[in-house]
Amino acid sequence: MPITALPKSRTEPDGSAVIRVLSYNIRSLRDDADALARVVRACGPDLVFVQEAPRFFRWRKHAARLAGATDLVMLSGGATAAGPLLLCSLRATVERTEDVLLPLRPGLHRRGFATAVVRFGGARVGVVSCHLSLQTDERYAQAGMLLDRVKAMDVPHAIVAGDINERPTGRSFHRLAGELQDCWAVSPWGAEHTSTALHPHQRIDAIFATKGVEVLGCGVPRGLPGVTESDLRAATDHLPVLAALRLPAT
């Protein structure tokens, strides 16, 4: 389904806002950064929930370069959130940001959340980018911490997106979908599977939203202008997830 079939960003007269949200695991920019930038720009997002952002030497410079190449600005996260990063368009008015590091288990990677509260028109929303553990029990615990973080943000609505490292049949994914809307399940659009970019066969990346956020469409975008299938394969080892959401006025 072409990208033109997904609603464009806009602010309604009643103060509600339609926004485009993109979730993308970029594998620390180790692949074709130009192809990645073409994909992100073609999606026209207001918010980008990044996983595996650069975390080491000159990581801020690399993240800023990605933001500049995609006509976005850095919102929060990166190395200070152990990988998750948030980018936003100039439509967003930023209220606050916070990077959260999760408990470190010996022998496992450090994980964290990049969080922010932003406004679009008269709509106020909390946002969290996440990348959950490869280890089953730790991943389940992190899913609970993610839900607790959303509740603690004290916002009328929230959007959570990231690499769940688990299919929808898994208990961590099910834990999230039990309290939040799984946007693909609510309003499927485009393609479903996100991993791998070369051989898509599973959905382990997702966008979730609290009740009250209207899901207008969600899935892996196809038919992006100026983007080839080779670009999608070369950009990183995951495919992006794009959603159009309507945020009620606060």
3-class state of residue 113 by DSSP: strand
pLDDT in tens, 18-76: 999 999 999 999 999 999 999 999 999 999 999 999 999 899 999 999 999 999 999 99
pLDDT in tens, 190-225: 999 999 999 999 999 999 999 999 999 999 999 999
Residue that is written with structure tokens 């207008």 in the block:
216
Domains of the chain: 12-247 (3.60.10.10)
Distance CA(139)–CA(170), nearest Å, equals 10
pLDDT in tens, 105-134: 888 899 999 999 999 999 999 999 999 999
pLDDT in tens, 75-95: 999 999 999 999 999 999 999
When pLDDT is averaged across residues 225-237 and rounded to a whole number, the result is 97
Q: Work out whether the CA dihedral 107, 108, 109, 110 comes out positive or negative.
A: negative
